[in-house]
Amino acid sequence: MLRNSILIFILFLLNFNLSNIALSHHGFAAYSQENITLTGIVTNFRFVNPHVQVYFDVINNDGAIDSWQGELTAPNKLSRGGWSKNTLLNGEVLNITGAIPRNGARSMRIRAISRENGESVNIGEILEDL
């Protein structure tokens, strides 16, 4: 009986530790502290867990198209700030500001978005506690 109790307790501890690892969240150490702003055309807006994704094309200095991916916070947090799956539309021109990864990948941790007409898309207050 005691042996079974010890075995059950050990299995519980292992399960608890493994679940903590699985539930852990990634950090943002891979991103630089400096923000850049890019103007691009939205090609895909994914209002999905765990992070909302914005895919956009940017015309580089050579006139070629570079495809970028940007990441925001969770959709439930954005929806509390008024966002929906229709907040950003394919084909829409946006100015997107954020931190890029140190490895040079065309990815961005988005910190601010404004529309072509200069209208700011509300994410500043939503992201303050990140």
Does 4 score more than 50 pLDDT?
yes
Does 57 score more than 60 pLDDT?
yes
Residue 25 lies in a domain: no
Residue among 24, 92, 23, 25 nearest 54 (CA): 92
Dump pLDDT digits (tens) for 59-92.
999 999 999 999 999 999 999 889 999 999 999 9
Does 5 score more than 90 pLDDT?
no
Residues spanned by the domain of 115: 31-127
Angstrom distance (rounded) from CA 42 to CA 54: 7
Residue 90 lies in a domain: yes
Predicted confidence at residue 6, as pLDDT, reads: 72
Residue 98 lies in a domain: yes
Residue 2 lies in a domain: no
Residue 6 lies in a domain: no
Predicted confidence at residue 10, as pLDDT, reads: 72
Angstrom distance (rounded) from CA 119 to CA 79: 19
Residue 87 lies in a domain: yes
Q: Which domain CATH number covers 44? A: 2.40.50.140
Residues paired with 99 in a beta bridge: 35, 109
Residue 56 lies in a domain: yes
Burial of 128 (0-12, 13-18, 19+ CB in 10 A): exposed
Residue 14 lies in a domain: no
The number of domains in the chain is 1
Dump pLDDT digits (tens) for 92-109.
999 999 999 989 899 999
Half-sphere exposure of 110 (CA within 13 A, CB side): 27
Diameter of the chain measured on Cα atoms: 74
